[in-house]
Amino acid sequence: MPLGNVVLKQALAATGIAVFLAPLSARAQENYPSRPVRIVVPTAPGGPSDNCARLMANEFTKRWGRQVIVDIRPGAGTIIGTDIVAKAAPDGHTLLVAPSALVIVPSSYKKLPFDPVRDFAPITQTYFVPNLIMVHPSLPARSVKELIALAKTRPGEILYASSGHGTNPHLTVELFTSMTGIKLMHVAYKGTMPGLIDLLAGRSALMATSSMPLTVPHVRTGKLIALGITSAKRSAALPDIPTIAEAGVPGYEAVQWSGFFAPAGTPPEIINRLHKDAVSTLNLSDVKERLATDSAEIVAGTQEQLAAFMKSESVKWAKVVKAAGIQPE
């Protein structure tokens, strides 16, 4: 048989296979989901990531006619739950609502069982929550500029609490110190509450946290002094408190955020459907109102925006970890 005919027959065969597979792929996407869907949350229950996942799960269940459950899997700085999704089948039935720790852990741990970029398909950034930098009233600083001036006269003497080594609140303060040229003494706690208790007691002088439902009442009663919000714009919960950038550190921004992900390799048709349903759910007024009680502000952007944001956040926090001399665990 002439070579041209052989090539033609091979091309027709390949085309036939593609034509045969295309309807199967289309039917697979039309039938999604074909069984219950699990959304893994790698943080402790009760936080904004958990609340966001539950709100989406409830809405998805109604829309899809399939049960969507939230699976809380905290541990190892979010690594345990995140790894479950990284290794799940890429069919859209195991999903992830991950906090900003996803882009911090590569700098905080020597070895990870997953790659935050390679092993996940971004769907949408769900929300962000600003941190609030507060001091105990016994510290003679009532503004960001006063804190900076005071810290320069007492390098390494002022204690600040965080919810844990390498966490977003820890690095939020380290970013502040690196941009202002001051030195503070870090005290890591096992969670927000133990650190907050010691801050209220005056055993620590400063703390950054996104847990505004816990802290705002103490700010309003004067038990704590709020110096600034770490987001680019002021918080609706405390509109009178300036941003750190406004208060004297231009360009400063550090927020906690959450993203919605599927395992890498999930078919684009499923990713697009998940994006459409997630964005429309996040923009529901009752969902916005519920997340606002956690001081969370909805983002609901594109897949490309989340991928680009993750890249910039990875670079930023890697620099902070290196500048702070934090040794990976």
Note whether 268 and 124 are same-domain residues.
yes
pLDDT at 77: 84
Structural domain count of the chain: 2
H or E element, residue 126? strand 120-130
Confidence at 103, pLDDT banded by 50, 70, 90: very high
Give domain status of residue 117, yes or no.
yes
* Assigned domain for 242 exists: no
What would the mean pLDDT of 164-180 be, rounded to a whole number? 93
Same domain, yes or no: 83 and 138 = no
pTM for the model: 0.86
| Cα gap 227→146, rounded to integer Å | 10
Q: Is 3 a member of any domain? A: no
Give tens-digit pLDDT for 276-300. Answer: 999 999 999 999 999 998 889 999 9
Do 115 and 60 lie in one domain? The reply is yes
Q: Which two tokens stand for residue 254?
A: 């550090």
Other residues' Cβ atoms within 10 Å of the Cβ of residue 290? 16
Q: What is the pLDDT of residues 85-96, one digit of tens each?
A: 999 999 999 999
In this prediction, residue 110 carries a pLDDT of: 83
Name the least confident of 143-152, 173-182, 197-206, 234-243. 234-243
In this structure, is residue 12 part of a structural domain? no
Are residues 189 and 101 both part of a single domain?
no
Task: Provide the residue range defining the domain that includes 82.
Answer: 35-128+256-324
Q: Are residues 46 and 105 in the same domain?
A: yes
Asked if the structure places residue 235 within a domain, the reply is no
Contact between residue 309 and residue 125 where contact means Cβ atoms under 8 Å apart? yes
CATH of the domain at 285: 3.40.190.150
CATH code, domain with 164: 3.40.190.10
Structure tokens at 257: 């955020």
Do 141 and 122 lie in one domain? The reply is no
Half-sphere exposure of 223 (CA within 13 A, CB side): 13
Give DSSP secondary structure letters for 48-86. HHHHHHHHHHHHHHHHHSS-EEEEE---GGGHHHHHHHH
Q: Where are the alpha helices (DSSP H) in the chain?
A: 3-30, 48-64, 79-86, 101-108, 144-153, 168-180, 192-201, 212-220, 268-282, 285-292, 303-324
Q: In sequence order, which residues have a C-beta less than 8 Å from that of residue 182 and are 6 or more positions away?
A: 148, 151, 152, 155
User: 3, exposed or middle or buried, with CB in 10 Å at 0-12, 13-18, 19+?
Assistant: exposed
Q: With respect to residue 156, please indicate whether it lies within any of the assigned structural domains.
A: yes
Task: Give the per-residue pLDDT at 26.
Answer: 52
Other Cβ atoms within 10 Å of 254 Cβ, number: 26
Shared domain for 145 and 212, answered yes or no, is: yes
pLDDT in the model for residue 254? 96
